Chains A and B, each alone.
Chain A
C-alpha cells in the first residue's frame, strides 16, 4: 500500500513546496486572465457573462504551466529518477496530476475572490460545491496538459499546441459567447467541446446566465472527461520508450 501512496503523496507535496517557494508564479497565472476579463467585461458592460470563462482560463494557464515542466523534468530533472525507481507508474502519474491540479485549484480560488465584481454573491455554504467544481475542472485540465506534455520532445511544441488547440478550445467553450446564439458548425463544436461543460458548471453554480444543460449534466461530462484523461495518462506513462530521447 505505502509503495503506491507514498510516491504519489511525495510528488503532490513537491508541487506544493515548489509553488510556495516561487510565489511570483501566482501573479503571472492569475493576472493575465484577470486583465482580459476586466477589459472585455468593462468594455461590453457585462462582467458577469465573462467571469466563468476567465476563471477557467486561470485554471487552464496554471495547469499548462505545471504540466509543461514535465518535458524539461524528464530530460534533465527529478522525473528521471522517478522513472528508474520501483514506484508504480500510475502512482507517479496520480501524484503529479493531483499536485498540479491542487495548484490550479488554489489559483482558481484566488480568482474566485473577485466574484463580487461580477455581481456574484456566494453564500458561505455554496462555497463548498463551487470549490469542488473548480477542483474538478482543475483536475481535468491538468490531465489534458499531462496527456499533451508526456510525449512532447520540446516545450516549443507545447506552445504550438497551446495556441492551436487549447486557446481555441477555450474560445469555443462558451467563455466568450454562449452556445445558444452560436452559429452553424461552431455550435456543433461547442456541443462536443468538453470545456463547454466546465463553463456551464460554473455558471450554474454561481447563478450566472448561460448555464444550460445545468449543474448535474455538466458535472457528469467534466468528470467523465477527467477520468478518460487520467486513464490515458496512466497508460502512456506505463509505455516503455524505445526512442533516443531520454
Chain B
C-alpha cells in the first residue's frame, strides 16, 4: 500500500533522510520510531505530499507522491502533530469544511459526518466549538476529519504527543478498531515506546537511516536474553572490571551500565557478589524497544 524506495532528503548540507526503503502492506499498522530529528518528520512530510524528496521515490496506493500528488491526496488521510482544526469553528463545521475540500456535499457529506462522529464517540459534541474541547477529544476530531473521505491510508504524525496516558490508550483503541472495521492502512510516527509496541511492524530511524525493522517481537528478540541495568559510582571503571571478569561488554550511558545477557538473574547474583558494596542499584528487565534502539545505535530515543 505504501512503497518507499531509496528515499534521500537534504536540507542544504544536512542529510535528513539517507537511502530509506520499506514497504507497508494493506491493513497494517506500521510505525516509524526514533528520536526527534531522526528523520521521521521529513519522511512524513514527503509521504503526505507536502514536500518533494531530494532523490528516491515513494508511492501510496500505486500513485507516486511526486508525479501524482492529487491522486495520493485522495488516497490519504493525514493527522498532523500540530492542530489542524479551526478553533473558532464547531466540530461539525470543521468536518463540513474538510468534506468540501474533498468535493463532498449534501446528504452524502451529512451522512459521513454523522458516521465519523459516531465511530469516534463524538456525537454529543458536534455543536461545540473546538476551543472548548480537551486535547484528547481534539485528537479524535482530527482523526474523524482525516477519515471523512474514506482514505485507504491514514498517516499520523506523533498523534499521541501531548496526551495523558488514558487519552493515549483511548486513541490507540480507536486506531486499532479502524484497522479492524474499515481495513485502513495506518502509518504513524512516534517516539513513544508503548505506542510503537502496538504496531504490527516498525522501523527504527536514527540520523536519517533505518537501523532496524521488523515486528516489535522480532526486534526485541535481537537482544538474546535479558537486560541488566546497574547504577554505580564510577561506570567506566566498573564496565572495564565487568568485561574483564565476565567477558561481556556493558554499554555506558546516563551514569548507568547496561548489560545484555542470557539468564540475567544468575548474572545479578554473581556481579553483586563479585563487587560487594560497589553497586548502588540493580535492575533486570526483558528487552524493550528502547533497548533495541540503544543496542543498534548506542543512543537513547528519549
Contacts and interface: CB of A to CB of B under 8 A. Distances in A.
Q: Determine if chain A interacts with chain B.
A: yes
Interface of A: 2-3, 6-7, 9-11, 14, 17-18, 21-22, 75-78, 80-87, 240-244, 246
Interface string B208-244: 0000000000000000000000000000000000000
A101 to B, nearest CB: 19
B279 interface: no
Interface residues of B, number: 35
A18 B78 contact: no
Nearest to B75: A86
B73 A78 contact: no
Chain B binding surface SS class: mixed
Contact of A86 (B51, B74, B88): B74
Nearest to A242: B52
A18 B94 CA distance: 12
Nearest to A86: B73
A2 B73 contact: no
Contact of A10 (B50, B83, B96): B96
B102 interface: yes
22 contacts: A2-B103, A3-B103, A6-B101, A10-B100, A14-B93, A18-B89, A76-B84, A77-B83, A78-B84, A81-B78, A84-B48, A84-B49, A84-B50, A86-B102, A87-B101, A240-B51, A240-B69, A241-B52, A242-B52, A242-B54, A244-B11, A246-B50
B97 A14 contact: yes
Interface of B: 11, 16, 42, 45, 48-52, 54, 69-70, 73-74, 76, 78, 80, 82-86, 88-89, 93, 96-98, 100-103, 105, 145-146
Nearest to B96: A10
B44 to A, nearest CB: 10
A80 B85 CA distance: 9
A10 B101 contact: yes
A84 B76 contact: yes
Contacts of B105: 2, 6
Given A10-B96, A10-B97, A246-B45, A18 B88 contact: yes
Q: Please give me the 4 A-B residue pairs with the lowest Cβ-Cβ distance, nearest first.
A: A76-B82, A10-B100, A3-B103, A85-B101
